[in-house]
Amino acid sequence: MKFFKAGFAGAFLLSNLWQVVRADSEEDLDDLDDESSTGKAGEATVLTDATFKAAVDKGNPIFVKFYAPWCGHCKAMTADWDKLAAEAPIEIAKVDATVERETATLMKIRGFPTLTLFEGDAMYSYSGSRQFAAMKEWASGGYKKDSSKSLPWNESIIDKAKDYATEYLQKVGQIMAYEPTIIPLSFFLGMMFSAVFFALCCTSSKKAVADVKKAAAPAKKAAKAE
C-alpha cells in the first residue's frame, strides 16, 4: 500500500512540475511573439501579412517602410529608420516585401524602399530625403500638407480609375524618356495605315458598284425591249 501511495504522490508531483514548465514555455513564446511584432525600444515594428491590415485599421498614424533585404538603398537607410523609430512621435514600422507578398501585392509595391504613412482612412506617400531629419519632420506632421489616397481596401471605382490613368501616363512617360520618337512614329504609322485602308475600301466599293451596274445592264435592256 505504501508503495502505491508513494507512486501516486510521485506522479502528482511530476504532473504539477510539467504544468509549471509548460506555462513558463508558453509565456516565453508569447514574449518572443511580442518582440517580433512590436520590436524592442528604438526599433521599428515588424509587420506581416497577418498583422499589417489590423495595424493600419487602428487609425493611428503609422509610418511604414516596405523594403527588400537585398536592396542597397534600403540597407543605407537602416540606421536612420531605427533612429526614427526611437525619436518619432508616431509608430514606425517595416514590412519585408519579399516575404510578405500578400501585403506587397495589396499595396502595389513596385520599388524599394517604398515609404508610406497611414492615418485613419488615408495614406500618404513619402518621396523626400531618406535622412533622419527630413523623415522625422515629415512624420511629425509635414505629411498633412501632401495629398492623400484612400486605403487600397477602401478604394472607390473613381480612385481605381485615377490609379490606372496615373500608371498609364507614367508608362508613357517612361517610353518617351527612353525613346522620344516612338510615339510620334507610332502616330505617323497609324495615319498611314488608316489612309491605305481607306483607299483600299474606296477602291473595293467602286469596283463593287461597277460590277453591280454591269450585272444589271442586261436586265435593263430586256425591260426596255419589252
10-residue averages of pLDDT along the chain (226 residues):
47 46 44 47 90 98 98 97 97 98 96 98 97 98 96 82 68 68 72 76 67 67 64
Which residue blocks in 72-156 are alpha helix, DSSP H? 72-76, 78-87, 101-106, 132-139
CA atoms within 13 A on the CB side of 174: 6
DSSP letter (8 states) at residue 51: T
CATH fold for domain 45-156: Glutaredoxin (3.40.30)
Give the pTM. Answer: 0.61
Nearest-angstrom CA–CA distance, 222 and 52: 87
What torsion, rounded to 10 degrees, do the Cα atoms 166, 146, 110, 178 define? Answer: 50
